[in-house]
Structure 1
């Protein structure tokens, strides 16, 4: 019998390392406004208006995880899953 490959190992090798918080701020700074605090407020405002974390992240050109961390630090996140108000 041969050795079994760990399917997660290949996926993890392709995954870029997560951005540290300072890089998230720099990425938001490059999103069009020189004020990263304003971009963070804009991201929170969009999320609170009902945008998904993924959609807000795409708008600002950052990863889902980076945007989720930013939002967790600045607002209360909605529960994950089905939205009964749809």
Structure 2
């Protein structure tokens, strides 16, 4: 069995976050393991800080913050370039 691509979505539960989660889930492939993480949890906040998350929604793919999420917000093209929607 092929390795799963780990997708972490950092969310505060706002409508922008929900919209991003819907987009991510719609383009994720069967090899993508999508985990929505609640920024109201201090362990999630620590993980987000370690990855360089500065705003939400933010997405990390295989432990790397997607370029679209480095201060600008979620962007489908950047997520696809980072590997979302493709087998690992």
What TM-score do the two structures reach when normalised by structure 1?
Answer: 0.25
- Higher relative contact order structure (alpha carbons within 8 Å, sequence separation ≥ 6): 2
Flag the structure with larger Rg: 1
Higher strand share: 2
